Amino acid sequence: KNIALKFKKREFNEMPDYLLVIFGIPAFLISSYWMFVITEVTPDFIRAVNKQAHIDILGISIAGILLVLAAEVWFFSSIAVRCHTILYERWFK
């Protein structure tokens, strides 16, 4: 029973500080990395698409990949912000 209680589904505000840090740091690093990639690639992609008269299947697939990466950035940054907010409330208020 004790082991099952340790691995039960918890909300973020029920987690101890060390778990919030364990979840928050990797989420921040992942979202930061992919945001950097998206901000570097997207302007060149838009310029390349604007130079063509039409968008081909490669352009559509690259746009789809960029959208998936943007969703990943949103997901992991939401986790990082939630962990940060809870830790800020606990430690500094």
Which pLDDT score is estimated for 38? Answer: 96
State how far the Cα of 15 lies from the Cα of 10, in Å rounded to an integer.
Answer: 7
pLDDT for 1-49, tens place per residue? 566 666 667 788 878 888 899 999 999 999 999 999 999 999 999 999 9
Single pTM value for the model: 0.80
* Residue ranges per structural domain of the chain: 16-92
CA dihedral defined by 43, 49, 55, 56, rounded to 10 degrees?
-80
Please report, as a single letter, which amino acid is at residue 54.
H
